[in-house]
Amino acid sequence: MSDKILFVDDEPQVLQSIQRQLRKRFDVSIAEGGEEALQVMKQKGPFAVIVADMRMPRMDGVQLLELVKGLYPDTVRLMLTGNADQETAVDAVNKGQVFRFLNKPCSTAILVPALALALRHHQLIVAEKVLLDETLNSSVSMMGELLTLADSTSFSVGPRIKPLVKKLVEKLELSPAWQFEISACMSQLGCITVPGDILHKVHSGVPLSEEELQTYRKHPTTGARLISKIPRLEKVSEIIFLQLREYEKFEPEIDDNVALGAQVLKAVIEYDLLRQQNEQHAKALKIMRRKKGWYNPEILDFLAEMKPKEGQIQIRSLSFLEIVAGMVADEDVTAKNGTLLIPKDQKITWAIIESLTNFKRHVGIEEPIRVRVHTTAQKEE
């Protein structure tokens, strides 16, 4: 964990004075101007804290701290300036998201406690990331894997869409990213209460009856309630709760990050379902765009840019209950008595699945069944 502090000013004598005053208390580096500061951070980083003067030529403090916020979000940012007008303070806080705003000249008695607090804040940021990355994310991933073992058709959706959600979150500049990734992984959690035949229809693209639709639409509420019991996942719970809501029905008072997170989930889950039903990238988006007001158009535009490699095939060995329409038999499917039910290379339709139900119940089907499935997950970088 870094405890280094970088001071940035265009006056060398000021920097030298600060370095002399603080060298026995802190690990201090200096940079003359914004351009040099970025080079120092790249070559000698990471830095826990950066303190920038406001008035500098070519790149002022607000511009520098705004860049640092994007490049090094864990670095705590402080502004030190003799220009204490309100507009400067507002710009520094809004654009650079500064931790403290200090007037110049700043006495050692004020500067030292401010730096100590900034270092402590950095420690908390890093500790939280470690907790989330190594504990919470690992626990959620394990939960997702266990659910996938219970029903791979329904619960493989989360891990499969996570990379695509991650890319959209980066495009939309949503933060913190981990909330949206966990929302993707746990989006189908509430499906544990939905009957298997209904889930089977959903994944096969078969229209649901009104009663079945009402049952299915309850799963986000169930999932959100379960997730809300885990500390620090309140926003995740809200995103999951809203994942089926149509874009045009979002109320203005809903938190922007929550609304966008839910809209990303809705679009990506629908896109994934269509791709699993063997629809090509362009055709899937065309189908989605026909549903006016259902999806955030900006998200659909980003999805359109993320063209996957068509024709990627994955071979899976599944139980009969995990087979959905759109899959292709990779070998002959036979009944226990040897009757050929589906020839190799036959595309499986909902009608075929329905017709095999009696064989499954009365005669039995040889399992597992080898099928070919189009994969849509994009490799994480």
Domain that residue 376 falls in = 309-381
With respect to residue 86, please indicate whether it lies within any of the assigned structural domains.
Answer: yes
**What is the distance of C-alpha 205 from the center of its chain?**
26
What pLDDT band is residue 55 in, cutting at 50, 70 and 90?
Answer: confident
How many separate domains does the chain show? 3
In whole angstroms, give the CA distance from residue 28 to residue 5.
Answer: 5
**What is the distance of C-alpha 71 from the center of its chain?**
19
Domain end marker among 281, 307, 333: 307
Answer yes or no: do 206 and 299 share one domain.
Answer: yes
Answer yes or no: do 53 and 88 share one domain.
Answer: yes
Output b/e per residue, 250-282; b: 16+ Cβ within 10 A: beeeeeebbbbbbbbbbbbbbbbbbbbbbbebe
Is the pLDDT score of 355 beyond 70? yes
Helix axes 157-172, 297-305, angle to 10 degrees: 100
Answer yes or no: do 313 and 299 share one domain.
Answer: no
Domain end marker among 307, 337, 361: 307
- CATH code assigned at 337: 3.90.105
User: Residue 376: in which H helix or E strand, if any?
Assistant: none
pTM of the model: 0.61
- CATH code assigned at 84: 3.40.50.2300
Query: Nearest Cα to 343, choosing from 351, 335, 332, 352?
Result: 332
Phi first, then psi: give them for residue 328, nearest 5 degrees.
-125, 130
Answer yes or no: do 350 and 215 share one domain.
Answer: no
With respect to residue 146, please indicate whether it lies within any of the assigned structural domains.
Answer: no
Most confident of 151-155, 190-194, 289-293: 289-293
Length of the chain: 381
Answer yes or no: do 292 and 220 share one domain.
Answer: yes
Answer yes or no: do 242 and 379 share one domain.
Answer: no
Question: What pLDDT is attached to residue 130?
Answer: 75
Strands in the chain per DSSP E: 4-9, 27-32, 49-53, 76-81, 100-103, 313-318, 328-329, 333-334, 340-342, 369-374
With respect to residue 78, please indicate whether it lies within any of the assigned structural domains.
Answer: yes
User: Both tokens of residue 49?
Assistant: 């804290």
With respect to residue 137, please indicate whether it lies within any of the assigned structural domains.
Answer: no
